[in-house]
Each structure stands twice: as structure tokens, then as C-alpha cells.
Chains A and B, each alone.
Chain A
Amino acid sequence: MFSKLPQTGEFEKVALPHLNELYRTAARLLGDGTKAEDVVQETYLQAWKSFARFEPGTNCRAWLFKILINTIHHYRRGWFNLRRVKESEEILEQTAACAAPAPERIAQEEILRALGRLPPDYRAAVLLADVEEFSYKEIAALLDVPIGTVMSRLSRGRKLLREQLSGLARSYGIGEGGA
């Protein structure tokens, strides 16, 4: 049988709907929107390269997240060249000129800061489970660790997050469980 020539149209149709989730996960794991953009772009390039081997009907989202997680590992080890921006210069993409956060966003900022303070391994597990709603088994495959490790990272990560957020939760009228 002849190998099928991958079509960008087909690729974009199945892969691009996951762009937002990939970007926000990358942004939270790397703590930097510009790095997240680079990593997401690289993720799609890697995905496109291996698209001929992707089987239609299988879980495209998990496949893309797996590539994203690998790309982030590579990024952290400096395995591919990323755009370097001189710190002395402020570089803005045209859309980066966003308005100041609206008041209702402020609480969200606090939550994101608390998430950002979690150790990276815990943060990844919490993001994948509680935000992206992957199953523990899927997370084990994505992070390439045993399911027991996923469970212990989740347990510690969630506990740390809860501790950090307890003050915030109280301010929002969320009690500590007292009747």
C-alpha cells in the first residue's frame, strides 16, 4: 500500500482546535507567554512531521499533549533554539498590548500565581488532571511515569495549592469545611 501524503488541510482540521489548550498549558508550565508560543509552534511542527503516522480516530488531543510535554522537556534542556529577546528591550507582539486586568481577573491572577509556585512536576500533574481533565492513566502516559507517581504528585500538588489558596478561598466565602 502506498503511504498517504499528509495534507495540511487535514492536519489543521484535527490539530488546530487544540491550540488554545496547548498554549495555556505551556504558558502555565513555562510561566512565560513568549516561550509558550515558541513551544506550541514547535509542537505543531513536530506533530506535522509525524502526522503521516497518526491514526485517524485515535486521541488527537492526547497525542498533541504528549508532543507538547516532550517539547517542553527539550526546551528546558535548551535543545532547540528559541527566540532570545534582549531583556533591556521591551518586545511586544501586536496583540500583546492588552488592557489592564479587569477586577474580576485579579482573583484569577492570584490563583495562577499560586499554581506557578508549585514545583514543576506537581504543577504539570495538577494542570493535566484538574484543568485539562485527563485521566490518571493518560497523565502517566503523557508524563512517562508510573500511575502511582501521578497519584502522589497530584496529592501533594493539590494539597500545596489548597494551602496557598486557603486565605484566598476564605476571602471568597469558601470555608474550611466548618458547618
Chain B
Amino acid sequence: MNNACENMREHLDAYLSRELPEETSREVQRHLESCALCAAELETRARVRAQLRAAVRATPVPIHLESKVKRSVRGRLARPRTGLWAVAAAALVIICVALVHQLRVASNPEEAILRKTSGRLAAVLNVGLRDHLHCAVFRKYSKQPEAAREMAAELGPSFADLVPLVQAKLPGNFRIIQGHRCDAGGRQYTHLIIAGGAGGGKIVSVILTRRQPGESLMGGIHQAGVDRFQVVGFESHDYLAYVISDLDAQQNLQLAADLAPALREYLAAQAG
């Protein structure tokens, strides 16, 4: 490799990117026609670049990201941005979307939401979501908090002390309003319904159900966003546990992270 080659190699990348001034580009072109070494070097650089491009472009993009972005952008619609008309228009859009949504899922709302999830983990997360939808979302229940005694009776002797355990771990603005045993999709659940959050209008479920053969969350805490719900699932040796709400993902995850250690310990003692 002579000086001319060294000089040319400085330009090879810019040549590949078509960023050289016309005259320099022609000079490089002429050199490449007469120098096999530099032509091979150009080929190498082009191939490495193509491989880099292919590798980066193969990065899998989470399939929920688009809907997450849409949700957060649409969530900003209600903010005053360009005056009262914008607020009014945004409110109208939200009402229309809510109506359309209700109409669309009216035939079988629970199934319509459950169908939006897929995958092995999601199937296990759906076990909890099914009960949340069935009991806390689409079923009419009294929004008046039950007395602790009533809840203890409905939960049965095994889970009577679940209410104080969970209440102690909740932030001050959340309150357990229902505690009961229930059935959904042919399966039994122990279910606490919690109301609160900013404005008091959020509903959170803490749901426990016995693990069935083959069901596993692989030991971790998993979170999925499905429709407007955030589902966190974790497990003990014998139970699956869920924290499901219409809070945002971070709040729901925080709530679940606060509850998980105590619940796991509680469930381990249940099994023993």
C-alpha cells in the first residue's frame, strides 16, 4: 500500500456514504479502478456496514410499544393546549371513544379484552385478569366499603386475615372495599377489591388462586398492559397472585412490589 492508497482510504467511508465532493469522488473512483487492494478494502467496509445495518435493524421492537405510545399521546388530549375549544373537542373525542369502545365490547366484554393478550406468560396473567374483569369491572357490586367482619366471613377462615395484611401495605389513599371468594371461568379465586388513588376513582384487585399444573410465572414478577389495565403477576409454591388495576404501569408495579414480599410469605404459610 503506497501513499496514494493511504490517502484514498481516508475517503472510502465518505465515498460509500456519497458524501464526497464530486471531484474527490471521481478521483477515488479512478483509484479504485486501478487498485485491487483498495477496491477490496471498499468491499470489506461496505459488507461490515451492511452487517451492522442488518444487526441493528433486527432489534426486536416490543409489540406493545405502539399501543403504549398511542395511549400516552391520546391521554394528553384532555390537557388544555390551544384554549377551551381544544378542551371541548378533546372531551368529545374521549366520550366518543368510550362509547364506541363500550358498544364494541358489549357482546362479551371480558372475552374481548382477554383476547388482546397472547403468549405463554400472558396466558398465566390472564388467569388473574379474568377474575378482575368478571368481578371488579363488569359485575355490579356495592361501592360502599364492607365491614371488616363481613369481609372476613366471605373470605373464609383460611384467608380471613388477608385484609389487615394487605391494608397495612397499601398507600394511605387506598382502601379495601370488598373481600370475598369468587368463581370465574370455572376457577376459584380469593379477591380483594381496593378503591382509591388520585381522586379516589381507581380500582385495584388483589387476586389469589391456586396454581394448576403447568402454570408458571417462572419465579419473577411480570407486568403486562392489556387494554386499560395493568396486570402484575407473581407466584408462590402453590398460588398465583395478581395485582391488577387501571393505575398507570409504574404505580401498579410499585403497589405490587410493596405487596409481593408479604403476600409470598403469607401464601407460603398457607401452603404449610
Binding site for B on A (CB under 8 A): 3, 5-6, 8, 11-12, 16, 19-20, 23-25, 27-28, 33, 37, 40-41, 44-45, 48-49, 52, 83, 85-86, 89-98, 105, 107-109, 111-112, 115, 126-127, 129-131, 135-136, 151, 154-155, 158, 161-162, 165, 169, 172, 174-179
Chain B residues whose C-beta falls within 8 Å of the C-beta of A172 in the assembled complex: 51
B48, B69, B249: which contacts A19 (Cβ < 8 A)? B69
Contact of A37 with B68 in the complex, beta carbons under 8 Å: yes
Chain B residues whose C-beta falls within 8 Å of the C-beta of A12 in the assembled complex: 70, 73
Contact of A41 with B52 in the complex, beta carbons under 8 Å: no
- B110 at interface, CB cutoff 8 A: no
Give the distance in Å from the alpha carbon of A131 to the alpha carbon of B48 in the complex: 11
Q: How many A-B pairs fall under 8 Å by CB?
A: 167
Give the distance in Å from the alpha carbon of A91 to the alpha carbon of B64 in the complex: 15
Chain B residues whose C-beta falls within 8 Å of the C-beta of A97 in the assembled complex: 119-121
Give the distance in Å from the alpha carbon of A11 to the alpha carbon of B77 in the complex: 12
- B74 at interface, CB cutoff 8 A: yes
Smallest CB separation, B13 vs chain A (Å): 5
**Stretch among B156-164, B175-183, B205-213, B219-227 lining the A interface:** B219-227
Binding site for A on B (CB under 8 A): 10, 13-14, 17, 19, 36-38, 40-41, 44-45, 47-49, 51-66, 68-70, 72-74, 76-77, 81-82, 85-86, 89, 93, 117-122, 125, 219-226, 249-250, 253, 257, 260
Give B38's nearest chain A residue, CB to CB: A177
Contact of B61 with A48 in the complex, beta carbons under 8 Å: no
Smallest CB separation, B121 vs chain A (Å): 5
Contact of B36 with A179 in the complex, beta carbons under 8 Å: yes
Give the distance in Å from the alpha carbon of A30 to the alpha carbon of B103 in the complex: 42
Contact of A40 with B69 in the complex, beta carbons under 8 Å: yes
Contact of B223 with A177 in the complex, beta carbons under 8 Å: no
